A = this chain, B = another copy of it.
Amino acid sequence: MSEDQKIGTYPFVVEPFCSDFRGRLSMGVLGNLLLNVANFHASDRGFGITTLNEGHYTWVLSRLVLEFVEDAPRQTEKFSIQTWVESVYRLFTDRNFAVFDSEGNPLGYARSVWAMIDVDTRKPVDLLSINDGAITRYVCDNPCPIERAGKVKAVASEPVYERVIRYSDIDINGHVNSIKYIDHILDIFPLDLYKTRRVKRFEIAYVNESRYGDTLQFYCQDMGRGEYHIEVKKIDGEVICRSKVIFI
């Protein structure tokens, strides 16, 4: 199989109601599109959510990193997303993304790490045992020139934000939608910060699932030079996710 056949390319337009207050594609919407193209790409190759659900398996997003080379595309602008599988291990697979403007210039990149779980037992599945490891045929060495996720050192002692999980946060698995955390985390920063700076890099590592009615507390440590480390915990202290946001 040629490298080109391993890469999926998907065209989009920034819809008028999918931009932030600056008129730029919002990161939550971009995050959703990344998950959607991941699913299109996997489905076309026999590893999509629908196929897997019939086999009682589903993909779970473990980590996501987005880094912008340029600012996000503007309202009504065309852009495209490419995605490919970088590597496959027994319990995890690395899937990368590149975002291009309408002229093919890179706007940014993303890295994601996924596990597959059994929907009944919620236990991880050996990726190399599915269809005799067929997924490894799609591994592709397309470049993704951004660093992998780093360590988050959240040491803040008081939460800066608190949020009770409601109906609109919950997805079909009964847990908070992975992308909703992105919106919630970006919501801890004041609007004035977004007026003078923009998010250069966003990392999130999912640790535990949260459910309807949970109160999430957001701890944020200012690391200096625009870098913030965030830990999202339940009231009982259980860590739900960790995140790093870098503004420039």
Residues of chain A at the chain B interface (Cβ within 8 Å): 15-23, 26, 28, 32, 35-36, 39, 49-50, 75-76, 166-168, 170-172, 174, 177-179, 183-184, 186-187, 189-191, 194, 212-213
Contact = CB atoms under 8 A, between A and B. Distances in A.
Given A17-B179, A50-B76, A194 B171 contact: no
Question: How often does this chain occur in the complex, in copies?
Answer: 2
A195 to B, nearest CB: 10
Contact of A187 (B18, B23, B166): B166
Contact of A32 (B15, B35, B177): B15
Nearest to A172: B23
Contact of A36 (B17, B183, B190, B212): B17
A190 B15 CA distance: 31
A54 to B, nearest CB: 11
A191 B213 CA distance: 9
Contacts of A167: 20-21, 186-187, 189-191, 194
Contacts of A75: 172
